[in-house]
Structure 1
Amino acid sequence: MLFVATACWAGDLHSDLYIEPGKQFVLGGSQPGAFRVVARNVGSVPVEIKERPRGGGIFGKATLVPGQKATLRFLPGSSALLLNPSDQKAHLDLHVTGDTKLSMGYELNGKQ
C-alpha cells in the first residue's frame, strides 16, 4: 500500500530521507527517462537499495552500511527501492539527477 505520493520537478533533487523500520521508500516508476541517485547512509543501520524495472522483478543493487556512499543508476520506468530491514529508523542523504519528475512514497518491505 502506498502511503504518500508526491511529484518532483526537473533538475536536481536533494532529500534528507528517513525510513521507518520495516518500510521501503519507492522513488520513480513511470518516468520516461533514466535517473541517478547518489546515496549516503548517515544513519546507524544498513539500508538495501534495489531496482524494480518497468517490466517486473526486483534486482539488488547495493547495501549501504552506516557512513557508506554509492552512486546508482536506474533505467527509464524503473523504481529505486530503499529498504530498511532493521528495527530502527534509517537515515539517508540523497542527491538525484536525470529525470527527476519522480513519484515518491512508502510501502511495507517486500512489496513487489
Structure 2
Amino acid sequence: MKKLLLTSLAFTLFFTSCKSLSSTTYIKAKESFVLGNNKHGKFSVRLKNTSTSNLEIWKIPIDGGKHSPVTVKPNEIVKVNVEKNTALRIENKANEQAVVELLVKGDTGLSMGYKN
C-alpha cells in the first residue's frame, strides 16, 4: 500500500511539473522574444519585467495578425492567457537589454526564439 501511494505521488509530481516552466529571459536592445510560434494548446504566462524600461507584449496568431497589446512597466507583473495556436511576442524597444521572469502554465510544448 505504501509503495502504491509513493508511486502515485511521484507520478502526480512528475505530471504537475511538466505542466509549467519558469525562465529568466534576456532580450537584447531593439529585439523581441517569441514564445509559442508553433501549433500548441492554451497556456498562460506570468511575466515580471525586471528591466528599467517598458516592454510591449502582443498576442500573435500563428496564421497571421497581432492583437491585445499590453505595456509592461519596470517591476510590473502581468498575467496573460494565450489561446491555442497563438504566440506571445515580448518586444524590447529600448536601447538596453531587457530581463523578464516568466512562469508558463498549460501547454509547455512551445517554440521559443528571438526576432529582430
Q: Scaled by the length of structure 1, what TM-score is found?
A: 0.84
- Corresponding residue for 2:103? 95
Q: 1:66 to 1:87 in 2, by over 3 A?
A: same
**Relative to total residues, which structure has the larger helix share, 1 or 2?**
2
What is the match of residue 40 of structure 2? 32
Residue 58 of structure 1 pairs with residue 54 of structure 2: no
CA displacement at 1:23 relative to structure 2: 0.4
Q: Which amino acid aligns with 2:22?
A: H
Partner deviation per Cα, 1:69-91 (whole Å, 9 max, x = no partner): 10001111111000000101111
Deviation at 1:29, TM superposition (A): 2.0
User: Which structure would you say has the larger RCO, counting Cα contacts within 8 Å and 6 or more residues apart?
Assistant: 1
Deviation at 1:31, TM superposition (A): 3.0
TM-superposed CA distance for 1:59, in Å, is: 1.2
| Bigger strand fraction | 1
Paired residues of 1:34 and 1:77 also in contact (CA < 8 A): yes
Amino acid at match of 2:31: K
Aligned partners of 2:37, 2:97: CA distance in 1, in Å? 24
Identity of aligned residues (%): 31
What is the aligned residue count? Answer: 100
Runs of 4+ in 1 over 4 A off after TM superposition: none
Aligned residue runs from structure 1 range 13-92, under 5 A? 13-92=21-100
* Preserved CA contact (<8 Å) 1:31 1:99: no
Q: Structure 2 unaligned runs (5+)?
A: 1-16
Q: Which runs of 5+ in 1 are unaligned?
A: 1-8
For each residue in 1:6-47, what CA deviation from the matched residue of structure 2 results, as whole angstroms up to 9, or x when unmatched? Answer: xxx942110101100010001002233111000011111111
Q: Secondary structure at the match of 1:44?
A: coil
- 1:94 is paired with a residue whose SS is strand
Whose Rg is larger? 2
